[in-house]
Amino acid sequence: METRQAGGDQHWENYLAQTDDGLYFLDYLHDWSLTGFVIPLAPDPKPRLRAHRLTIMNAINDKPNERAMRKLMWIARYHNVTVQDILSEFGHRFSGEAPSSYLIPDNFLHY
């Protein structure tokens, strides 16, 4: 996934993202995290990242139909790419925590 700069502060350039096949989408997960890490007194985004991860993993465990599963695979990959970007940029905010508690394990990324 690649992002397109929408102007403004460099931290806010990732609102609009583009998939590998050219579709644009609102990068809400990155927004949650930036808000919590950049804006003073904003809620800590880490619990939301863990909840997002768990919601996706539970949905995958429910073994939905193939169409829904393809969408879940997309959002699981989106989650991991975004979390890896966040860890790269704000890793110091995660000191002492295992990145695996925020990433969806590989065994969930194949159906």
pLDDT score of 44: 87
| Total tally of structural domains belonging to the chain | 1
pLDDT along the chain (111 residues), means of 10: 46 69 85 81 89 96 93 94 90 86 94 78
Q: In terms of Cα–Cα distance, which of 43, 51, 50, 3 is closest to 25?
A: 3
Range of the domain at 83: 2-108
Instruction: Residue 71: count other Cβ atoms within 10 Å of its Cβ.
Output: 12
What six digits make up the tokens of 32?
């949650």
